[in-house]
Structure 1
Amino acid sequence: MANLEERIDDKRHKLMDKQSKITEAINSLDDDDECTIMTEKYLNGKTWEQVAEDNGYSWRTVHRIHGRALKKIKLA
């Protein structure tokens, strides 16, 4: 049982580290729309359709903004 709890704690810490890195990358973006879309998709777990609807964008526009954000994150 202790081994299982240890493995769970290890996985929890790894997930928290990944979430922290994702949050840091998103916060490095200088465009509010990019930050919002990336946050809603990757931290809040919304579908592309939900992200588009919640922000008043078409599905295509959300993907265009997402692509632009990914390029900025990749360059950083």
Structure 2
Amino acid sequence: MNAKEYLSQAMWLDKSINNKLEQIERLKAIAEKVTVDFTQEKVSGGKSTTSPMEDATVKLIDLSYEINDDIDRLVDLKREILDVISQVEDVSYQLLLEMRYINNKGWDDVARCMGYDKRWIMRLHGRALKEIDEILKEATKSH
């Protein structure tokens, strides 16, 4: 795994969490729209059937647990990535990498915050990635 792939893990997990949060909102909307059919005959014994509202609620709960697990993983992953970023000597590289990969800022935002134009930020980013690659190589050698 190269530096960019390593650093991007948190961004992708964050996007996945946001996607699941959107799914929860859709499931809530579905659960609120579900109506009960009182015309169904009640049958004793046999297989118990669940209502669409119960199904939606169970899915909501399962998805909520998944999201909580993902958030725990994201916090741990960001902590680990910050640990690696902190090993970069140049503070401006650290700041750039944190803004991009930890805070999920776009390139224009990073450039504006750092007071550089976007082309210069992209150059700095390339240099910072090379340093991260070296740090990751050293870490794999020591293991």
Q: Residue 3 of structure 1: CA displacement?
A: 4.8
1:24 maps onto 2:83 in alignment: yes
Q: Residue 5 of structure 1: CA displacement?
A: 4.8
Change beyond 3 A, Cα 1:54–1:4: closer
1:8-64: CA deviations, max 9, x gaps?
Answer: 332122111211121111111100110111111112221101111111111111011
1:59 maps onto 2:127 in alignment: no
Partner of 1:37: 96
Secondary structure, counterpart of 1:10 in structure 2: helix
The structure whose residues are more often helix, as a share, is: 1
Distance of 1:32 and 1:50 partners within structure 2? 18
Instruction: Tell me the number of residue pairs that the alignment of Structure 1 and Structure 2 aligns.
Output: 76
Partner of 1:11: 70
Letter in 1 for 2:93: E
The two structures have a TM-score, normalised by structure 2, of 0.48
Letter in 1 for 2:97: M
Show structure 2 runs of 5+ residues with no match: 1-57, 136-143
Q: CA RMSD, aligned part only?
A: 1.6
Give the greater-gyration-radius structure (CA): 2
Distance of 2:133 and 2:75 partners within structure 1? 21
Change beyond 3 A, Cα 1:47–1:4: closer
